[in-house]
Structure 1
Amino acid sequence: MVRLSLFLYQQKNNMPKIRIAITDDHQIIIDGLVSLLSKYNQLSIVLTTNSAAQMLEDLAKTEVDILLTDVMMPGMSGSELAKKVRQLYPSIKIIALSMSGQAQTVSNMIEDADIAGYLLKQTNAGELAAAIQKVYAGGIYFQEDILQELEKLGNKKSTAVAVKITNREKQLIELIEKDYSSKEIAAALNISLHTVETHRKNIMRKTGTGNVLLLVKWAYENKVLSRE
């Protein structure tokens, strides 16, 4: 978990601020998020809007690193916005914020839009800041409650096709979930980088997932990963 000390370290070393955009149809939510994140000097709120359409328009004029988006909004939904942003501004990383942690809502958002994180709006400032930092660094972030919902969804899936995952592949998935790079996985498991890449391709093929977020979602739903 990223802590405030990391933000202070970055501040002292003149590292660039993380530029954040927020869209939510309720201004009170935006005001609350701005207040929560204002204590972190490394985070800079550069854009806020009350609609997905306005956010899409304003992103053409504002440089943004992280987009925090509501899921359920009138007009263009958070999922639709995320898909358009990924097409037009692929460097922007997206975190979904929602009042609903319902398993199917979470699952749909992950599968329909190429997001990098999902949190509930009632999360605390420290966890939200940690999620932003982790996603900015190239990782993914699921809140604990979200992981629990994904496990519940897995329990309800009785018609899922069984996928045989080897012990070595399970080890890789566990390390991938912890944001290990292929080089770090190779060192941790004492195998070659080529072998790691081969395993990754096989895992993605077996599970039918095209990115890390979908793989982690699949792993929790199918009990390959657990919160214990």
Structure 2
Amino acid sequence: MIAAKLKILIVDDHQILIDGIEAMLQGVDNFEVVGKLLDGKLALTYLSDHPVDILLTDLYMPKMTGIELTQKVKKAFPDLKVLALSVSYDVSIVHDLMDAGISGFILKTIGRNELIDAINEVSKGNVYFSREVSNEILRSLANRNDPEEEIYRLSDREIEILKLIAREFSNADIAKQLYISERTVETHRKNIYRKTNTKTIVGLIKYAVERKLI
């Protein structure tokens, strides 16, 4: 049985960059570029009528920024993976993107192999950041003041599961590791998201790093 290809939509306000990204993805067996659009509004219209697995979007665009597009996309299509791209970045913008629900952020200076790796990683439900971006995020978190005490504290078991989630363990993997049922893992996972007031793995990892849990 032939595996279904990942349907990829590219959104950037520079046609030459769209064409360049498409050229880099040519020849990858499990990728299919299904759309190439110049702004976020066109992307939302396209997504309402066409199935897409991965959205590659520029960060700075007229009419609608990458952050605004991500917010609207995740609200309307929560299962769609969003991978943001830019030639430059500010760490505060990256935090805003994380809060919006992106699956990754990469610089346009990366090569073909890293672009392919990034798309494959986010397609699996993982998070991917260019190395420079990851280092800057960690530095910014390390320089923050300690957060206030939380009303709800995580139990030792919840912290244990949080650490495994951060290591990209699936519910089945966690259940096997801790000798508990997958249903119990799912219950713990829901409680962790509720107590940490997070909705995505990105937000959860951000929470854990800020509190030095991982």
TM-score by length of 2: 0.86
Q: Which residue of 1 aligns with 2:43?
A: 55
**Residue range with higher mean Cα deviation, 170-179 or 75-84:** 170-179
1:115 maps onto 2:102 in alignment: yes
**Which of the numbers 146, 149, 174 marks the counterpart of 2:136?**
149
Deviations 1:76-98 (A, max 9, x none): 11111122222333342211112
Deviation at 1:168, TM superposition (A): 4.3
Aligned in 2, Cα 1:92/1:72: closer, same or farther, shift over 3 Å? same
Unaligned residue ranges in structure 2 (runs of 5+): none
- Whether contact under 8 Å (1:102, 1:149) holds in the other structure is no
**Which of the numbers 208, 217, 220 marks the counterpart of 2:209?**
220
Give the aligned CA root-mean-square deviation in angstroms: 2.3
Unaligned residue ranges in structure 1 (runs of 5+): 1-12
| Secondary structure in structure 2 of the residue aligned to 1:94 | strand
What code does the residue aligned with 1:24 have?
D
Deviations 1:49-77 (A, max 9, x none): 11111222222343211110111111211
Deviation at 1:45, TM superposition (A): 0.7
Q: Which residue of 1 aligns with 2:29?
A: 41
Deviations 1:140-176 (A, max 9, x none): 3233333222212212321522456666444322321
**Which of the numbers 3, 15, 27 marks the counterpart of 1:27?**
15
Percent identity, aligned pairs only, is 37
Summarize the alignment of residues 138-217 of structure 1 with structure 2, pairs less than 5 Å apart.
138-158=125-145, 160-162=147-149, 168-217=157-206
TM-score by length of 1: 0.81
Runs of 4+ deviating beyond 4 Å: 162-168
Deviations 1:116-158 (A, max 9, x none): 2222222222222122222223333233333222212212321
Aligned in 2, Cα 1:58/1:201: closer, same or farther, shift over 3 Å? closer
Alpha-carbon distance between aligned partners in 1 of 2:161 and 2:125, rounded to the nearest angstrom: 18
Deviation at 1:15, TM superposition (A): 0.7
Count of residues in Structure 1 that have an aligned counterpart in Structure 2? 212
Alpha-carbon distance between aligned partners in 2 of 1:52 and 1:152, rounded to the nearest angstrom: 31
Aligned in 2, Cα 1:87/1:166: closer, same or farther, shift over 3 Å? closer
Aligned in 2, Cα 1:78/1:166: closer, same or farther, shift over 3 Å? same
- Whether contact under 8 Å (1:154, 1:223) holds in the other structure is no
